[in-house]
Structure 1
Amino acid sequence: MAIRKSAIARAQAYRSHTSLWIPAALSLGLLHGIAHAETPKDVLIEVAEHGPNSLDAMAPAANEFAQMASWQLYDRLITHGTKTLPDGKVMYDATKIEPELAKSWEIQDGGKTLIFHLREDATFHDGSPVTADDVKWSFDRAVSVGGFPTVQMAAGSLTDPKQFSVVDAHTFKITLPVADKLTLPDLAVPVPYVVNKKLALRHATTDDPWALKWTSLNDAGGGPFKVGSWKSGDRIVFDRFDNWKSGPTPALKRVVLREIASPGTRRALLEKGDVDVSVGLPPKDYAELAAAGKVNVIGTLMQNEQFNVDLNVTMKPFDDKRVRQAIAYALPYDSIMKQALYERGEPLFGADPSAPYAPKWPVASKYNTDLDKAKALLKDAGYADGFKTDLYIDMSQTTVQEPMALLIQEQLKKIGISIEIHKVPGSEWFAKMGSKSMPMDINYFYGWLDYPEYFYFWTYDGKNNSVFNTANYSNPELDKLIEQARFESDPTAYDAIITKMNGIAMDDVPRVPVAHLYSDIAMQKNVKGYVYWFHTHLDLKSISKD
């Protein structure tokens, strides 16, 4: 293929410009010595406390930013449309399913058969064509690697490679045992992405048949962006894939995500104009930045989310429901909202104790701070003098969780409970959750699919017992209701099931609800096109700069 010299010259000029500018502008030593380093219009600089620890979200212990990376690097069959809220914010629309790699699809056999027709001109980043064989292998992989990806696929009744078949080079079929309303939206989440089968298999081994070690460190995708460079623990550079066919060409040519541990530094860089976007700031900073008005702060209430204190029901004394309820009555809710969260969320406590729970999620619990009730419950459970226990927090969330933990520690002393606080490195948090070994922890979960039973599937279901069920909770009655809700088609019956589920969860209280959080992000005023997505990360392909 011939390439004109003028095109080569433009590309070389672009590479030279960004390769010289980015390291200079992101050098902290240099940033302290300059007043303002305006970023180029087609380059976005984002700063965060953490970045991806893997380029493949399928890898064991892959973190949330690995999911972010996979979202940019890989295509999925389908995606969601967007909607504008009354306050002008834009977010994904769970009711709108739109094409991505699949240009069209058909649902047959009462919802048990889904047939997807792929774009014939789609290619991977290495130039090889995307085929239905790549899609099948990728889906086989997702249901077989185990852990989080496999459970996510199961949420949409995708559990067995036999369910996936190749009709022809550009037609892929899914067969379900029963129709499941979660299947189609489950195909739009970060997990079921399409991997370059031939490229990955060149690096597969007997011990690693899905080439997870190689894809953790290398790009095997065909999404809107490809990896320009990556230094784990420092930065990742995404370069636009100009041959992307699954949507409009992104406005940005390059995106740099730089890891900077200090939230104060990340805030200062944004306020000086040296970076375009800052994520993961403390709620206090977002509140102050929003009040100052020099940058845009967008806070969107997360879908299907709960911020809570988990109590491990398999460890004493939290195996006793009365102790768990005592903790629920003892937490300093108002102080947490004001001093740890700075009101960047809505309270999930203090509901009317005489009213049934609404058939939705999240809902506020009927608990409120009442130390007398807490003491009475502890006495009834045989812990009138209190006890000692351990509270674990995620170091990647210390700006919120540490002040919250200190407030809880101080409050529980009043009812005789002595707490030792343990900080777990963010890189180890996921594994720690999976160990089910924490008596108490501060945690949160947001469901990618906005259905109450989906939240319960991940966090309360004893049969599933996913990594997010850190309370290690199991209740056969609730498990049965979760399954019923997934397949109930009558709205009245469905609402009755959800109300009953909420009542059980709040009475057993393996996790104490505290707040429904905002997903906050701060950006320069010339950054446009931000869309809130259920995974809470930037969708780079929609972003542009004035």
Structure 2
Amino acid sequence: MTDVSRPPTPRPFGARLLETAGALATAVVLALPGSAALAQDIVQGGDLRAALTGEPDVLDPATSSIYTGAQVYEGIFNKLIDIAPDGTFIPDLATSWEQTAPTTWTFTLRDDVTFHNGEAFTSADVKYSFERILDPATASAYAGLYTQIDSIDTPDPTTVVFNLKSTFGPFLTNMATNGQIVNQTAIETGDPARSPVGTGPFEFVEWVQGDHITVTRNEDYFKDDRPYLDSITFRFLPVDQSRITALSTGELDWVDAIPLQLVPSLSQDERFNYVTSPVAGIPDYLAMNTQVAPFDDVRVRQAVALAINREDIRAVAYLGTGELGLIEMPTGSKWYDDTGVFAAERDVEAARALLAEAGYPDGLSIEYLGLTQYPELLKTGQVVRESLKDIGIDMNIRAVEVSVWFDAFVSGGYQITSAYQERTIDPDNFYTLVLRSGAPVNTTGYVNPELDALIDEAAAATDMEERMALYRQVREIALTDAPLVFTHFETLNYLMNDNVAGSTITPTLSLHMEDVGFTE
């Protein structure tokens, strides 16, 4: 996850940009049975009690690498631009944007925005925010998304100009994915990790470690009639029956996930509103540490790739939900192309031959680092363990808490594990961050200069067909070398009581809690 998160751990395009909204995955939200309540049905006020799958690492958008962090901080901060559920690009802190030259983007900013500390928002804050992300001292996992920025000009308080090193196809997508604007004073005089200060619809109140985070309504928010809610308390709870019981008894109002075995019944339960999306979600993958034996041998990695059974993973770990997950994109994405994907079909005999060729004719033993906090990922490990037995691999599962897992994952202290990368709207969002040599979340230690050059070439291209062809080459190399193996594409499932409305799932996976409220 780069969200390494959730284990870690994601746009308006200007009219001149080749990648129009039609080139993106359209997040068609399915709402059952009563969550079609319109905005005019939502009343002002109320305190929402929400459950998140885990606890954030930090609430600094530049340094957080866990999806649960983003779920909270995205309500505290704004970006210049955003992407709507239908894939169209919409203003946020910027009122308009234009590609004034092949390597120049100019944004016009709102002049009526203030930070939660009372300071006015200006172009200087935009410049500071992106230069901070790019500063090696910040150690931002998202720096790779913005390395094409050469300089940032601020000719006046409401104009900011990004000068790029070269043409860059996913620039606006990236701006709308991880481009939160921070306040320099708050960063330099406060604690951005634990007491964030933004311009967003909600202001930070408190963080009780291990229990909850509370945010309250920003009374000076620049968007009329938003947010609806007075406050939100985010509790950190496991995805089990206790969540549903808490919803039923009124202890909770909204949850970010439900036990998959309950999806068929709860999606039709009139006591609740259920929201999902067939195309917006998270690609899960097996990560193999290429810097340690036995996964420093490509033949062993390829053997694992050929041995896994995605159908079993979907059936057992995800109870038939989601997709098989051959690449980083869902089948509904305009970017989806599984042409020539290595190990798209299971081949036990070929896997055994590769192991023998690698010097393991009698098999070998490996350790899988499992996450107790994410049952689907842990079950994926259990399914993989059974599949690997067929080729003579004995995989021991060591289940740990997320903090232990994360430390091992980012430091290379593991052999094989399951992870995911949220907000893969453009292929570059995945390959630049996860597989490029030395990338912020290249936790497999994979190095391939040929692949690096292709990733850079694909990102620099602005023609859709050209980029599609280049990413076919990227996938052919990356998936054949198999530092990671895609195992599943998760879809999200939100559940709330029937008096809560406005919740949607967008390509950025932002909760957009400013649009959520009570209907009575």
TM-score (norm: length of structure 2): 0.82
- Does residue 415 of structure 1 match 2:391? yes
Q: Secondary structure at the match of 2:377?
A: helix
Specify whether residues 301 and 436 from structure 1 end up closer, same or farther in structure 2 by C-alpha distance, changes over 3 A only.
Answer: farther
Equivalent residue, structure 1, for 2:118: 127
- Does residue 523 of structure 1 match 2:496? yes
- Does residue 174 of structure 1 match 2:162? yes
Match of 1:152 among 139, 142, 152: 142
Q: Secondary structure at the match of 2:472?
A: helix
Quick one: which amino acid aligns to residue 111 of structure 2? E
Equivalent residue, structure 2, for 1:501: 474
Match of 1:47 among 43, 51, 56: 51
- Does residue 195 of structure 1 match 2:182? yes
Quick one: which amino acid aligns to residue 81 of structure 1? A
Q: Secondary structure at the match of 1:309?
A: strand
Equivalent residue, structure 2, for 1:267: 244
Match of 2:348 among 347, 371, 376: 371
Specify whether residues 500 and 193 from structure 1 end up closer, same or farther in structure 2 by C-alpha distance, changes over 3 A only.
Answer: closer
Quick one: which amino acid aligns to residue 74 of structure 1? F
Q: CA deviation at 1:276?
A: 1.5
Q: Secondary structure at the match of 1:446?
A: coil
Specify whether residues 362 and 275 from structure 1 end up closer, same or farther in structure 2 by C-alpha distance, changes over 3 A only.
Answer: farther
Specify whether residues 435 and 328 from structure 1 end up closer, same or farther in structure 2 by C-alpha distance, changes over 3 A only.
Answer: same
Distance 1:193 1:348 in 2: 29
Quick one: which amino acid aligns to residue 73 of structure 1? I
Q: Secondary structure at the match of 2:62?
A: coil
Relative contact order: is structure 1 or structure 2 higher (C-alpha 8 Å, sep ≥ 6)? Answer: 2
Specify whether residues 135 and 499 from structure 1 end up closer, same or farther in structure 2 by C-alpha distance, changes over 3 A only.
Answer: closer
Q: CA deviation at 1:303?
A: 4.3
Q: CA deviation at 1:349?
A: 5.5
Equivalent residue, structure 1, for 2:3: none
How many residue pairs get matched? 470
Equivalent residue, structure 1, for 2:72: 69
Quick one: which amino acid aligns to residue 518 of structure 1? T
- Does residue 434 of structure 1 match 2:410? yes
Specify whether residues 224 and 490 from structure 1 end up closer, same or farther in structure 2 by C-alpha distance, changes over 3 A only.
Answer: closer
Contact 2:174 2:429 in 1 (8 A): no
Distance 2:226 2:157 in 1: 25
Equivalent residue, structure 2, for 1:35: none
- Does residue 458 of structure 1 match 2:433? yes
- Does residue 113 of structure 1 match 2:87? no
Q: CA deviation at 1:441?
A: 0.8
Quick one: which amino acid aligns to residue 145 of structure 2? A
Specify whether residues 340 and 99 from structure 1 end up closer, same or farther in structure 2 by C-alpha distance, changes over 3 A only.
Answer: same
Match of 2:235 among 249, 258, 267: 258
Equivalent residue, structure 2, for 1:327: 304
Specify whether residues 312 and 542 from structure 1 end up closer, same or farther in structure 2 by C-alpha distance, changes over 3 A only.
Answer: same
Deviation string, structure 1 residues 42-66 (Cα, Å, up to 9, x no partner): 222111232333232334x653222
Equivalent residue, structure 1, for 2:419: 443
Specify whether residues 483 and 107 from structure 1 end up closer, same or farther in structure 2 by C-alpha distance, changes over 3 A only.
Answer: same
Specify whether residues 282 and 536 from structure 1 end up closer, same or farther in structure 2 by C-alpha distance, changes over 3 A only.
Answer: farther
Specify whether residues 375 and 288 from structure 1 end up closer, same or farther in structure 2 by C-alpha distance, changes over 3 A only.
Answer: farther
Q: CA deviation at 1:526?
A: 2.6
Contact 1:277 1:521 in 2 (8 A): yes
Specify whether residues 224 and 316 from structure 1 end up closer, same or farther in structure 2 by C-alpha distance, changes over 3 A only.
Answer: same
Contact 1:56 1:215 in 2 (8 A): yes
Q: Write out aligned runs for 1:4-403 (5 A).
A: 42-59=46-63, 62-83=65-86, 93=87, 96-110=88-102, 112-144=103-135, 146=137, 149=140, 151-159=141-149, 163-190=151-178, 192-203=179-190, 214-246=191-223, 248-261=225-238, 263-290=240-267, 292=269, 294-303=271-280, 305-348=282-325, 360=336, 366-397=343-374, 399-403=375-379
Q: CA deviation at 1:224?
A: 0.8
Specify whether residues 431 and 290 from structure 1 end up closer, same or farther in structure 2 by C-alpha distance, changes over 3 A only.
Answer: same
Distance 1:531 1:202 in 2: 36
State the identity as a percent. 26
Q: CA deviation at 1:248?
A: 4.7
Q: CA deviation at 1:71?
A: 0.9
Quick one: which amino acid aligns to residue 428 of structure 2? E
Deviation string, structure 1 residues 427-468 (Cα, Å, up to 9, x no partner): 2433322212321111122344x2223322122212x4332x
Q: Which runs of 5+ in 1 are unaligned?
A: 1-38, 84-92, 204-213, 351-357
Quick one: which amino acid aligns to residue 381 of structure 1? A
Specify whether residues 134 and 457 from structure 1 end up closer, same or farther in structure 2 by C-alpha distance, changes over 3 A only.
Answer: closer
Distance 1:487 1:447 in 2: 20
Quick one: which amino acid aligns to residue 536 of structure 1? L
Equivalent residue, structure 1, for 2:9: none
Quick one: which amino acid aligns to residue 67 of structure 1? A
Contact 1:340 1:403 in 2 (8 A): yes
Quick one: which amino acid aligns to residue 51 of structure 2? V
Q: Secondary structure at the match of 1:52?
A: coil
Specify whether residues 472 and 285 from structure 1 end up closer, same or farther in structure 2 by C-alpha distance, changes over 3 A only.
Answer: farther
Q: Secondary structure at the match of 1:73?
A: coil
Equivalent residue, structure 1, for 2:15: none
Q: CA deviation at 1:418?
A: 1.8
Contact 2:93 2:109 in 1 (8 A): yes
Specify whether residues 457 and 319 from structure 1 end up closer, same or farther in structure 2 by C-alpha distance, changes over 3 A only.
Answer: same
Q: CA deviation at 1:81?
A: 3.1
Equivalent residue, structure 1, for 2:28: none
TM-score (norm: length of structure 1): 0.79
Distance 1:306 1:337 in 2: 12
Distance 2:396 2:517 in 1: 47
Match of 2:452 among 448, 460, 479: 479
Q: Secondary structure at the match of 1:198?
A: helix
